[in-house]
Amino acid sequence: MVSWTCLLFLLSQCLLVSTYFGRANAQTVPIVPGLSWNFYASTCPSLKSTVREQLQIVLNQDIGQAAGLLRLHFHDCFVQGCDGSVLLDGSASGPGEQSAPPNLSLRAQAFRIIEDLRRRVHQKCGRVVSCSDILALAARDSVYLAGGPDYDVPLGRRDGLNFATVNATLANLPPPSSNTTALLNSLAQKNFTATDVVALSGGHTIGISHCISFTGRLYPSQDPTLDQTFARNLKRTCPAANTDNTTVLDIRSPDTFDNKYYVDLLNRQGLFTSDQDLYTDSRTRGIVTSFAVNQSLFYEKFVVAMIKMSQLSVLTGNQGEIRGNCSARNSNNLWLSSTVEETEKGSYSAF
Ligand code: HEM
Ligand SMILES: *[C@@H]1O[C@H](CO)[C@@H](O)[C@H](O)[C@H]1NC(C)=O
Ligand SMILES: *[C@@H]1O[C@H](CO)[C@@H](O)[C@H](O)[C@H]1NC(C)=O
Ligand SMILES: *[C@@H]1O[C@H](CO)[C@@H](O)[C@H](O)[C@H]1NC(C)=O
Ligand SMILES: *[C@@H]1O[C@H](CO)[C@@H](O)[C@H](O)[C@H]1NC(C)=O
Ligand SMILES: *[C@@H]1O[C@H](CO)[C@@H](O)[C@H](O)[C@H]1NC(C)=O
Ligand SMILES: *[C@@H]1O[C@H](CO)[C@@H](O)[C@H](O)[C@H]1NC(C)=O
Ligand SMILES: *[C@@H]1O[C@H](CO)[C@@H](O)[C@H](O)[C@H]1NC(C)=O
C-alpha cells in the first residue's frame, strides 16, 4: 500500500528532475544559467499551445515550411548564439540580405511565420516572450509536426541588439562542400561531439536545396562517391551548375522527420559532400549506420544535440531585450517608440 505522502514525494522528485532535464530522454542535458524549462509558466502560460496550434494550421497547408523554420533556428544559433539576430532586417543571413555573398536562401516565409507567431503570443501575454524563444519553439514543433520526436526546449532567451557581420556568418556556417574533418573541427569549436555532428546533420531529413549548393559534385567532373542513378537525376534537375532549381535533401521521405536521411547516406544518395562524407569517414561511419538502423537512437541523439544547439551563447536576464517586432530592434521600432506605454495587451500587434 503506497501512502499519499509517498506519492507526493515521488511527484515532487519528478518535478524536481524535470526542472533540470528534458522530457524526451532520461539523459542529462545541462541547461545554462538563466534558462529554464518553465520560464513563462506564470507570464505566458498559453505560449506553447499558441505556437503549436498555429503551426499545426500553417504546416497542414505546407509541410515544407517545417524545414524552413528548423534551418532558421540553426542559423540563428550558429552565428552569434540563439539571440534572434538572424531575424533582424539587414542581417547577413536574414531577410533583405542582398549583401550576403553566399545566398543562404533562408525561406522568406519562415520569417513571416515567426513574426506572425510573435504577434499572436504578444496579443495574449503582452511583450514578454522573446523572438529567439519563439523561433526555438517553432523549430522543435516543426520537428514534431513533421513526424519527429516531441521534446522540450529550455526557454528564457533574450533578443540581441545587433546582427552578425558577413564574415562572422561565413566563419560559423560550414559550407556544404565541407568534408568530415572540416565539419568536426568547425563544430568542435561549439563543443559538439562527433555524435552531435551526425545527429544534427539529420536535420537534412526534411527540406530542399538549390542546385548551386551541390553542383560542385556534378560539374566539371562527377564526384565518384555519388550513386550513378542519383547523380543522373540531379543532372536532370540541374543541367548547369547555376540552374535556379531545387531538389529534396532526403529522396526517400523528403517531408517526414525520420531516419531515412541516414539510409540515403548508406546508399550514396546524400546530397552534399558534408552529408555523404559522414559515411565515408571512418570516425563517423559507425554513427551513421547506427542511426540508419535505429530511428529511436537517432531521435534520442538529435534531441540532445538540439537542446545543446538551442543554448549556444544565449542572452539571459537583463541582457538584450524582448523585441516588439522580430525584424527590428526596439530602438528602431517606430511603432514602439511612438507609443506612450504598451500597457494595453497586444495593442501594438493589431497592424
Ligand atoms: C553541419 C553543417 C550543415 C551544412 C553544411 C548545411 C548546409 C545546408 C545547405 C547548403 C542547405 C541548402 C540551402 C539551399 O541551397 O537552399 C541546407 C538546407 C537545410 N538545412 Fe542544413 N546544413 C548544415 C546543418 C544543418 C543543421 C544543424 C540543421 C538543423 C538541425 C539543418 C537543417 C537544414 C534544413 C531543414 C534545410 C532545408 C531548408 C529548406 O527546405 O528551406 N542543417 N543545409
Ligand atoms: C537568393 O535566392 C532566392 C531564391 O532563389 C532569390 O529569391 C533571392 O533573390 C536571392 N538573393 C540574392 C541576394 O541573390
Ligand atoms: C572579412 O574577411 C575577409 C577575408 O577573410 C577579409 O579580407 C576582410 O578584411 C574581413 N572583413 C572584416 C570587416 O573583418
Ligand atoms: C578536408 O578538407 C580540407 C579543407 O577544408 C582539406 O585540407 C583536407 O585535405 C580534406 N581532407 C580529406 C581527407 O579530404
Ligand atoms: C565549450 O566548453 C568550454 C568548457 O566547458 C566553455 O568554456 C566554452 O564556453 C564552451 N563553448 C561554447 C561555444 O559553448
Ligand atoms: C527542374 O527540375 C525538374 C525536376 O527534375 C526538371 O523536370 C526541370 O526540367 C528542371 N528545370 C530546369 C529549368 O532545369
Ligand atoms: C535503439 O535505440 C534505443 C535508444 O537508445 C535503444 O533503447 C534500443 O535498445 C535500440 N534498439 C536496438 C534494436 O538496438
Ligand atoms: C517590423 O520591422 C520591419 C523592419 O524595420 C519593418 O519593415 C516592418 O514594417 C515592421 N513591422 C511592423 C508591424 O511594424
pLDDT in tens, 313-326: 999 999 999 999 99
262 sits in which H/E element: helix 260-266
Q: What's the CATH number where 187 sits?
A: 1.10.520.10
Q: Tell me the mean pLDDT in the region 286-309.
A: 98
Residue 214 lies in a domain: no
Q: Torsion angle, CA of 232/225/279/254, rounded to 10 degrees? A: -10
Domain-embedded: residue 27: no
Average pLDDT over residues 18-36: 68
Residue position matching grid coordinates 558534408: 274
Nearest-ligand number for the alpha carbon of 235: 6
Q: Per the structure, how many domains does the chain have?
A: 1
Residue 337: pLDDT band (50, 70, 90) is: low
d(CA 226, ligand 7 centre) in Å: 30
| Measured CA distances, 335 to 7, 40, 118, 128, 330 (Å) | 52, 25, 15, 17, 9
Q: Which of 294, 302, 303 to mutate to test the pocket of ligand 7 (most atoms within 8 A of CB)?
A: 294
Paired residues of 246 in beta bridges: 210
Pocket test for ligand 1, best of 209, 250, 307, 310 (most atoms within 8 A of CB): 209
What digits encode the pLDDT tens for the residues 179-199?
999 999 999 999 999 999 999
Choose among 289, 248, 246, 282: nearest CA to 267.
289
H/E run at residue 210: strand 208-210
Average pLDDT over residues 241-254: 96
Give the distance (Å) from ligand 6 centre to CA of residue 236.
6
Q: Is 121 inside a domain boundary?
A: yes
Name the residue of 191, 312, 313 to mutate for ligand 5: max ligand atoms within 8 A of Cβ. 191
Q: Report whether pLDDT(35) > 50.
A: yes
Residue 124 in domain: yes
pLDDT value for 336: 77
Residue 10 above 90 pLDDT?
no
**Which residues are known binding-site members for substrate?**
174
d(Cα 24, Cα 299) in Å, to the nearest integer? 9
Euclidean distance between CA atoms 208 and 3, whole angstroms = 55
133 part of a folded domain: yes
Distance (Å, whole) CA 74 – CA 238: 26
| pLDDT tens string 59-110 | 999 999 999 999 999 999 999 999 999 999 887 666 544 444 454 578 889 9
pLDDT score of 230 more than 80: yes
230 domain-assigned: no
Supply the residue whose CA is at minimum distance from atom 10 of ligand 6. Answer: 237
Res. 257: pLDDT tops 60: yes
Rounded distance, CA 292 to CA 250, Å?
13
Question: pLDDT band for position 20 (50/70/90)?
Answer: very low
Which domain covers residue 137, as residue numbers? 46-207+249-310
**Cell numbers linked to 36:** 529554464
Flag whether 167 is in a domain. Answer: yes
Give the atom of ligand 4 at the shortest distance from the alpha carbon of 281: 13
Whether 300 is in a domain gets the answer: yes
DSSP 96-124: T-TT-SS-----HHHHHHHHHHHHHHHHH
By CB neighbour count within 10 A (0-12 exposed, 13-18 middle, 19+ buried), where does 14 fall?
exposed
Judge whether 75 counts as a catalytic residue.
yes
Contact (Cβ atoms closer than 8 angstroms) between residue 180 and residue 278: yes
Ligand 2 atom 13 nearest Cα = 98
Nearest ligand (C-alpha, residue 119) = 8
pLDDT confidence tier of residue 161, bands split at 50, 70 and 90? very high
Residue 54 Cβ < 6 Å to ligand 6: no
Calculate mean pLDDT across residues 230-237. Answer: 98
Residue 104 Cα: closest atom of ligand 2: 1
What pLDDT, on a 0 to 100 scale, did the predictor assign at position 14? 38
